[in-house]
Structure 1
Amino acid sequence: MGDVTSAAEAAEAAARRSYGKLVAILAARTGDVAGAEDALSEAFGAALADWPVRGVPATAEAWLLTVARRRIVDAVRRRQQDDDASRHFALLEELAEPADANALPDRRLELLFACAHPGIDRQAHAPLMLQTVLGFDAGTIASAFLVAPAAMGQRLVRAKAKIRQAGIGFRVPGPAELPPRLDSVLEAIYAAYAEGWTDGGGADPRRRNLAEEAIWLGRLVAALLPGEAEALGLLALMLHAHARRAARRDARGEYVPIAAQEVSRWDAAMIDEAEGLLHRANAFASPGRYQLEAALQSAHSVRRAGAPVPWAAIVGLYDALQALSPSPVTALNRAVASAEVQGPAAALAALDALGSDARLRDYQPYWAARAELLARAGHAAQARAAYERAIGLERDEAVRRFLQQRAALL
């Protein structure tokens, strides 16, 4: 006899660990992403009913894959009278293969590139990858891309239907097909990393290990495409940021901003690897967004040698990034960095110019930056109001406490 709680925890752990891997295996055979997700959902439902009674199987992923395959086989049999019966029988034979837990192929990279097919609406590429490969729900994806949940849900449904109807193959494209798809793949990997990065304390089970998964995918793309500077740049960016993960919280679990972090707690080996990747990317002389963002992260690493942070160079890097890939977030970060060169008044003027952008209205870093700059400029009442707005928008308890402490100093 099993235990309901332990069975549910085992199912949740399997979903976090292997959701995208299992969807990729199933969808690669059927070409139907939505059908694969439905079958896997039914398999998880069966697990929650079966495992408390019979116990959690030794190989949970293999059990889930077997049940999901059976669901797909049942669906195929129900429609085998349609169109091409021979195709259905061939699919049945493929799906009938036993699931060997020690030999489950990892086809997530192929699924990533399938989701980035030029026949699919480009706006759906990264959201589709986040949902199918990493298991994000539509609401979370909508929030990340500043889109209404209903609109994002419709976009995802249409994209999955396109994969099935157009018979889009699950394979890594050849050199000629690669450029249009690579940007979308890198964007999805970075979005996944950013979601994991926001859970600095590792308290959210949905985000736990997400940053590590994104780095793994980044390594896979960089190994597959060693001549793509932006693939190398993205991996360097993620490693630079991840090298500081242990320093983002102190011994009591309180948030520590980068300027106050103990460099001895940074992962030196990871930073060295990131620097090597960035050097390799620079050799191609084709600068891109991720290389510039990695260079911005690299600029902070000079503190390891006791050197001051080169703020003027950082402002220049933000200028280059804004020229290459304009965004309100880049403009915000550029304004904050400029305060270290020109003072808080100039930075506040830059923030005022961004204030009309609706995308920043509920963006916590905008209000936190504004509060800090107002405080430095001596505008205590306005700073307090900005801190209150930032505190209300922040989900991370440790960051919220940090902001409250900063406000209290006023």
Structure 2
Amino acid sequence: MSSDDPRAALARVGERFDLNEYEISAYLAVLEAGQLSASEIADRTEIPQPRVYDTVRSLAERGLLTLQESRPIQVLAVDPEEAFADAHDSLEALISDLEARYTEPARETGAVSLIKSRSSILRYVEAVIEAADYELVLSLTPALLKRYESELAARREAGVTIELLVTPAAEAPSTEEFEYRSVATRARARRGITTPVLAVADGSYSTYATQDAIAWDGDRYGVVFNRSALGFLLSGFFNTVLWTTAQPLAENGFEEHFPRRYASIRRCVKDLAQHDALTEGNGSLTATIEGRDILSGEYLTVSGRVVGVSLASDEQSAALEIETDEGERDGETVSVGGRVAALEDVEAHEIYLDHEPTADGN
């Protein structure tokens, strides 16, 4: 079947299974008995005698029954495997084609997409997980954690930093039952059922849904954000509201590999606080910031040595200080904040870190 012709396949499958009430009753009666006359079919079903012949002839034309010309006419069952062979093949091909279309959510269609079925929401969550190149934050129920365990492990293996929230906490598997470090850089659990299901890849591509929408199909919905300015809304909500009110489960700690890339300045600063390159004699960290000037709105790139970090105790604000080494700001110390920064000089959209060792290689 051509992958661009699912409509015709749907029509073929629908035609095969479009049986009315009389046809269903007659077919099942003959299937159970193997062979019946028209009067016997009428006796075993609620089909009026005058309608029996039309009904069984319709089924015979579809290849579901055969008619044996005798007196009286005998109606014989056809092996279902043979009767539905063509429908089975069409259905398998159709499912394969529809699944290919269904599992490839289109990201380019708009900034925001509304999704209204549980299965679609789950597909988008998976798509966001698989799209992450360097940073992923997500909130999952224990059942979804199990569902996406292999996908998360693959992203961790690829070097993606993952912050995982499991909710409700009462149902989260213990660290003895589940190896959180294999699927997340940091994992926490949050109490209650009010926490939404969400996933944000690299601070941009993201999806959001309530736990009700995941629990069953109905009058529920999810939202997909395809652009970074909107994905930041979910990332900020996760960082400031959800993550800070959750209890730690497991943490891998700082991973010593450079260069590194961040969409979240909070995550960047937390890592730097654990890294000794900011202390004398251990080389230096350099940063390249892509963002914009908070006063003029001009998009810019700032590069230089990291000379300071700050992180509020509630983790709701974070900043870097960069000693610049090029351009008009050469030699200046520039303060860098996250999205919608107001107190710093630069609003960071992406942060690239690298480590310059000392002369002795440390």
Provide TM-score, normalisation by structure 1: 0.23
> Of Structure 1 and Structure 2, which has the larger fraction of its residues in helix?
1
As a proportion of its length, which structure holds more strand?
A: 2
Instruction: For CA contacts below 8 A with separation 6 or more, give which structure has more relative contact order.
Output: 2
Whichever of the two has the greater Rg, that structure is 2
